[in-house]
Amino acid sequence: MSTAAERFARLSTPAKLLLILTAALLPIGFALVFVAYGEIEEANEALKSQSDERARIAAKAVESLLARNALALRIATNGRLDLPDPCARVQRSLGIAPAVAQNFELNAPDGRELCSVGDIGDLSMLPPIAPGDIQLRVAPQEDLLLVRVGVVGGMAATVISSDEIRAAALGENIEGLVVRDGRREIVIGDRDSAMTPGERASITNWPVANGRLTVDVEGRVPAVTTLDRLVILLPVVMWFIAALMTWLLVTRLLIQPLRRLQQAVSSYEPGDPALELPNKLGPATEIQGLRDAFARAMTRVQDSERDMSTALDGQRRLVREVHHRVKNNLQVIASLLNIHGRSAETAAARDAYSSIGRRVGALAIVHRNHYAEMEENRGISLRPLLAELAAELRSGAPDSARGLRIDLDIESVHTTQDVAVSVAFLLTEVIEYAMLHRPDEPVEIAVRRVSELTGRLTLASPILIPDEDQEREKVQFERIISGLAKQLRSSLDRKLGRYSVDLPVFPPR
């Protein structure tokens, strides 16, 4: 369930609306289609039943026509074949019978013609029959139905024309019928007439005269037209139109303007002169209001950034000026210490002045390098700082330590001002101690990056070899070195003639 919800949440808004409308309206549409189709089917079945009933009545009318003519001919003929002029007697009897054929032929039991009234065609296809029997045949190449009945003393035959059958059987919604005797047929009515779009043919088969003939009755019943199908599918069509219109309206009036607005906002970069938002965002006033709100917000942000940039520039100039003044003041102090050291009366005083001056000079060098690095905002670079510090310490060394060699192996790393001050003081303490106690031995200084945010400062000199009998001055030196290492928030790694300490640095570019 959560997976389906996540997939639904990732869809676009038009797709979500389409799915929601589908889930809400499509089942209702299918239900209405099913109900409408069922009602139409029930109505068509009722109309089909009515058509079948009319066809049955038409078949019964043909059967009644045959039965009426056969009965009237049998009644009029029975007992009259042996009388003189039987045809006249039969003609008079048939003349008073309603709706029966008036043309007939009387035959002896062997089929020999006795007399006839009117033209009834060729009766040779009708076999002789016994009294009480009846024989029906379709006349070849004629739209006539031959009827022969067996009577006492012979047989009587008559014909029923297609017009008579049409008058008896055809009625409303009965297009035509076909009378078959098994070998031939009479087609009555227009069976090939074109059906209207709302009708279809319905043909039913009915046996008449105890199965001697078959009557196919063709009628017309309503059919499901294209319009009916459209009416049935109207709910589904309404769902489709509603879903399509919703998708189009949401996409064109909401989504596309919002995407243009999003692209304009996303393409804006800090420092650009102005945020250019599209003017045409459709008729939705809410989106236009959102655009105006974005424009006002970005204007306020730009004004705020401009004010902050101005304030930052002023602050940067102020800080640089402070560092510059501090560096100048430290240099003035170092110069004063140097002047006073030269006029000192004792060697101890002169050494004290020199020692203090070297530390003040180291701090001045840190401030000067920090002042130079502020433009890049990358902190203080240790390579130029330590190189300048080593040169400054050599230039201010006593005469006995003028030949002190300082070897530098420093990678290009940057660090903060606090770390640079501690490193400068640490190097000053080590180099000064080497100047005073082992000026003939070199001092090696190395800085290596060991990780993205960590560097290692290594100092190597014979003065860092532990003594068994440490003098008071060496104890003080070790205490100062340990304190400066703590300022770097790292433990001092002491090895024979080599001290190492980790220090934080900025990541490489």
Q: What is the mean pLDDT of each run of 10 residues along the chain (509 residues)?
A: 68 71 72 72 75 80 84 82 80 78 83 82 79 82 81 85 77 73 79 62 81 80 68 73 77 74 70 66 69 75 80 76 63 57 62 66 64 58 83 77 84 84 81 82 89 89 73 75 80 86 86
Same domain for 317 and 224, yes or no, is no
Q: How many CB atoms lie within 10 A of CB 9?
A: 8
DSSP string for residues in 211-258: TTEEEEEEEEEE---HHHHHHHTHHHHHHHHHHHHHHHHIIIIIIHHH
* Tokens encoding 91: 């003609």
Q: Are 208 and 345 contained in the same domain?
A: no
- Give the whole-angstrom CA distance, residue 357 versus residue 342: 12
- The answer to whether position 16 is within a domain reads yes
- Predicted model pTM: 0.44
Q: Is residue 268 part of a domain?
A: no
Give the domain extent around 122: 11-228
Which of these three, 209, 228, 247, is where a domain ends? Answer: 228
Residue 237 belongs to a domain: no
Q: Which two tokens stand for residue 260?
A: 């243009």
Q: Give exposure, 145-171, as e/b (b: 16+ Cβ within 10 Å).
A: bbbbbbbebbbbbbbbbbebbbebbbe
How far apart CA 97 and CA 94 sit, in angstroms, is 5
d(CA 375, CA 55): 108
Within-domain flag for 445: yes
Which of these three, 228, 259, 285, is where a domain ends? 228
The token pair at 378 is 């990358």
> % helix / strand / coil in the chain, to the nearest 5?
55, 20, 30
> How many structural domains are present in the chain?
2
Q: What is the pLDDT of residue 375?
A: 44
> Are both 25 and 132 inside the same structural domain?
yes
* Residues 336, 207 share a domain: no
pLDDT at 349: 66
Does one domain contain both 352 and 486? Answer: yes
Distance, CA of 474 to chain centre? 78
Which strand (E) or helix (H) includes residue 65? helix 13-77
Consecutive H or E run containing 380: strand 380-381
> pLDDT value at position 81?
77
Residue 29 lies in a domain: yes
- Domain assignment present for 6: no
Q: Rounded to the nearest 5°, which phi and psi values hold at 93?
A: -65, -40
Residue 252 is assigned to a structural domain of this protein? no
Q: Is the domain of 220 the same as that of 342? A: no
Q: What pLDDT, on a 0 to 100 scale, did the predictor assign at position 383?
A: 86
What CATH number does the domain containing 384 carry?
3.30.565.10
212 and 320 in a single domain? The answer is no
pLDDT in the model for residue 358: 66
Looking at 176, 195, 228, the residue that finishes a domain is: 228
Give pLDDT, residue 337: 57
Residue 367 to residue 372: CA distance in whole angstroms: 9
Q: How far apart (Å, rounded) are the C-alpha atoms in residues 144 and 187?
A: 10
3-state secondary structure of 409: strand
Which amino acid type is present at position 203? Answer: I
Query: Based on the domain organization, do 223 and 333 belong to the same domain?
Result: no
Asked whether residue 19 is domain-assigned, the answer is yes
Same domain? 189 vs 329 = no
Coil/strand/helix, residue 186: strand
Q: Are residues 481 and 360 in the same domain?
A: yes
Let me know whether 139 and 31 are in one domain: yes
Rounded Cα distance between 200 and 223, Å, is: 6
The answer on 165 and 63 residing in a single domain is: yes
Q: What is the 3-state secondary structure (H, E, C) of 28-39?
A: HHHHHHHHHHHH
